[in-house]
Structure 1
Amino acid sequence: MEMKNRFKQVALFVSVAVLGMGSALAAPVVSTQSMNIQWAGTVPNSPISTGAWKFVELNDPTKDFVPRVGTIIVQDDSLVPGGKTLETSLIQFALQTGTDYFSDNTPVSAYLAADVAFSGLTNVQAQPAMTISAGTGKDLKVGSANAVELQKITGATTNNIPVVLRGKGTLPPSSFNEGDNFTAQATIMFTASVGV
């Protein structure tokens, strides 16, 4: 009988020890971490039209193109410690004539009205920079005297010219603080001739 009671005590002790260990292993670990999420929005502009030609959707020229907010991918700059590189999403649209064609033997050109403007950066001891390119990597410059030819019209049958814009740039050290929400804005001027 004594042996049986001792066996029960040992079994009970082992059960309690096993339950105790199980409880220690399964104890939850509570922690809190933060995540910053962001959205950007712009009230759409009215469609832009000069009468002779207008901006239209690249994939559906029956629809007017209304500029939308693009995104900027920000990554560490492998060449400049503490700096960041910038790359924008593509903005794609087309220039479309109304009832006529773009004029034969004339260029369709573009230029920046001013340098790309940044807003929202909270540390501006150094200046960020961005280059906007159109078409096949042609960098746009400021001013009509520096207009870049996007396409030379040959023949009198062209009524739609696709345009793809992309931006690349840098945020040097001391031009930003981590967590900054910022925008880059550019005004691009397009010149095209329609008719004879």
Structure 2
Amino acid sequence: MTATPSDLLSRALDAPGEPPLRPLPLVVAELLRSLDAPPRLAAHLRAVHDVAVELVDWVRDHHPALAVDRDGVLFGAATHDVGKTLHPDELAGPGSAHEEAGRDLLLSHGFPPALARYAATHAGWDDPAVTVEELLVSTADKVWKDKRVPDLEDRLVKALSAASGREPWEEYLALDDLLTRLGSDAGRRLAFQAQFPVHG
């Protein structure tokens, strides 16, 4: 019996995954179900969210003086590509129409601007006004597939160094160890995502 789009979406949201992936926040999973989101998108959001948990918890443990909105980062990672429900062609190819569309979609569903912004800013980490939270969402969106972006990492290192008072090179070495470890599971996360179709 062929799985229905709803079955595939439920599996993308609920299957344990390998490596085991944390579930998305309940409010996000409910939103994706209500939107009949592409199963591939749900799987991708889970992978990025899972990496974001590791990143933000590492920052909390290693930089306790740095106030980071953990819930904001996790919501941002879990919804950063939600605009691809309206632009599913951007799941399989390039495009940025999903960014503003995602923010507007979240706003239209009653989410506050402080949370909806991540959908629009996750690719704009080079903006001078970018926050540490936005840098963490952007980093999670790269390292989940073991993509390293030196300029993005430099921005994050500067923020960490400013908060800790340690030298940037010390912060870089610590962050590099974390990102290398997270990147080592990229193949399995990519395989999990690839199990699900772009279209339901």
Class of the TM-score when normalised by the shorter of the 2 chains: under 0.3
Output the TM-score relative to the length of structure 2: 0.24
Output the TM-score relative to the length of structure 1: 0.24
Report the structure, 1 or 2, having the larger helix content. 2
